[in-house]
Structure 1
Amino acid sequence: MSAFKRAVHRPMHRRLAVVGAVAAGSLLLAACGDGGDDMSGMDHSGGSSSASQEATTSPAKGAFNNADVTFTQSMIVHHQQALEMSQMADGRASDHEVKTLAGEIEKAQDPEIKTMQSRLKSWGKPESAGMDHGDMGHGGGEMSGMMSEQDMKDLMAAKGTDFDRKFAEMMIEHHNGAIEMARDEQKSGRNAASKQLADDVVKNQAAEVKQMQGILDRL
């Protein structure tokens, strides 16, 4: 006789006993789960939470190479200077389009800085590789498009149309430097999230360069 047939012909009282035992076991487990104080050392949602967190951070934790690290470290510094320049527009710029663009640059690049800082942390890499603004002078430093300390002082001292013109000229060069760095990342990088950021930089900052050139043409 097969196992299936033996199960079918098992006496009713034995089958009821098995069902009762299973039901009792389920009730016991449910009772244990309700005892939050007694189960404080067991986080039943921990698996889901960890999985969710991993899904959020996995792009940054994915495969990366030295080009990704260098791009991320450099772009943080580059973005920080763009924020400094944009913040100077408050109280100095006179052109409405310059004021609006400065606000848009600040709004876009500040979150990107935070994202890149988090990415480096997840990689176990330092935020800085010994770079600072003073080491990357206008046109002749390690990082393309960075303004020198004197450039920043000149921009800060300018007002009105003079500021508008200087801001547009300097930010065009600054953006072009960022685009050059992003294209290097597109070619040499490995990390998907970093390469996506590079794509965004090329697309968005190229559009802003075109807009600022239009501002210069009418000033």
Structure 2
Amino acid sequence: MASRRSLVRRAAALATAATAATVLAACGSSSDSSSSSPAPGHSGHDMGAMHPSGTASAGSHDPQDVSFAQGMIPHHRQAVAMADMAASRAKSQQVKDLAAKIEKAQDPEIDTMSGWLKAWGAKVPGAGKSGMESMPGMDHSASPMPGMMSDDDMGKLKGLSGDAFDMAFLQMMISHHRGAIEMAKTEQAKGAYGPAKTMAKSIVTSQSAEITEMNKMLGKQ
């Protein structure tokens, strides 16, 4: 009987020891876990530090970049509005093809520049029928920026068709392109934002080529 009680006590002691070992192990694991918890925190901090550096390049712009985008958006919109007229009013297929090319090139650039302005917290010019209404307080009877057509110019173009439209469209678009090139060269010289300067360079190259093409259509070259 005594030996049986001894066995029971020994078993109870072993069970208690096992429980204590489990508790200690759990405490050790918890301690290890809490000591390692700063690692995810550091990782998260590092990730957070990456975001400012990631947006720094997008934010490294100057007032000229903002001015370029805010001016070129309505300028492009007006060119697209002029190009839209060509589909139903132009007689020459060359003029129609050129207009389609202009629209295809400038529509995406409008979206891109609008995205820049939003990212910079700057005002995106509102869309107007002729590109003129997007500039508040502007005298619509005069050209607000290089190469921009007045409302009267746009109205006259809209009232033309056939050969008369082709002639007026080419003359106006040459002037319009020259204005865009002037604006783009200013951005190249004074801007700070890489993608904007790259777009400006592309505008100078592509629109200079289109001016040459339009002059040939007018028989000037």
Tell me the TM-score normalized by structure 2: 0.69
CA contact (8 A) 1:179 1:201 kept: yes
Question: CA 1:178–1:100 in 2, change beyond 3 Å: closer, same or farther?
Answer: same
Larger Rg: 2
C-alpha separation in 1, matches of 2:56 and 2:146: 30
| RMSD, aligned α-carbons | 3.1
Q: Supply the AA of the counterpart residue of 2:180.
A: A
3-state DSSP of counterpart to 1:143 = coil
Question: CA 1:183–1:192 in 2, change beyond 3 Å: closer, same or farther?
Answer: same
Corresponding residue number in structure 2 for 1:108: 105
C-alpha separation in 1, matches of 2:173 and 2:72: 15
What do the CA deviations read for 1:38-93 (whole angstroms, capped 9, x no partner)?
xxxxxxxxx99xx89x96x765x231111110000000000000000000001110
Q: Where in structure 2 are the equivalents of 1:171-210 lying within 5 Å?
A: 171-210=173-212
Question: CA 1:95–1:81 in 2, change beyond 3 Å: closer, same or farther?
Answer: same
Does residue 80 in structure 1 map to residue 40 in structure 2?
Answer: no
Unpaired runs of 5+ residues, structure 1, are 1-24, 26-46
3-state DSSP of counterpart to 1:146 = coil
Corresponding residue to 1:161 among 155, 160, 163? 163
Unpaired runs of 5+ residues, structure 2, are 1-28, 30-45
Tell me the number of residue pairs that the alignment of Structure 1 and Structure 2 aligns. 171
Q: Supply the AA of the counterpart residue of 2:132.
A: H
Corresponding residue number in structure 2 for 1:170: 172
Corresponding residue number in structure 2 for 1:42: none
Identical residues among aligned pairs (%) = 42
CA contact (8 A) 1:133 1:148 kept: yes
CA contact (8 A) 1:175 1:205 kept: yes
What do the CA deviations read for 1:87-115 (whole angstroms, capped 9, x no partner)?
00011101011000000000010000000
3-state DSSP of counterpart to 1:128 = coil
Tell me the TM-score normalized by structure 1: 0.69
Corresponding residue number in structure 2 for 1:148: 150
CA contact (8 A) 1:136 1:147 kept: no
3-state DSSP of counterpart to 1:133 = coil
Q: Supply the AA of the counterpart residue of 1:142.
A: P
What do the CA deviations read for 1:126-184 (whole angstroms, capped 9, x no partner)?
1139x96163668x533110001111011111111111111000000000000000011
CA contact (8 A) 2:61 2:191 kept: yes
Question: CA 1:210–1:154 in 2, change beyond 3 Å: closer, same or farther?
Answer: same
Q: Supply the AA of the counterpart residue of 1:202.
A: V
Corresponding residue to 2:120 among 120, 123, 141? 123
Does residue 67 in structure 1 map to residue 61 in structure 2?
Answer: no
3-state DSSP of counterpart to 1:162 = helix
Q: Supply the AA of the counterpart residue of 1:149.
A: D
Q: Supply the AA of the counterpart residue of 2:164.
A: D
CA contact (8 A) 1:136 1:143 kept: no
C-alpha separation in 2, matches of 1:58 and 1:113: 23
CA contact (8 A) 1:137 1:146 kept: no
CA contact (8 A) 2:80 2:102 kept: yes
CA contact (8 A) 1:137 1:147 kept: no
C-alpha separation in 2, matches of 1:105 and 1:136: 26
CA contact (8 A) 2:181 2:204 kept: yes
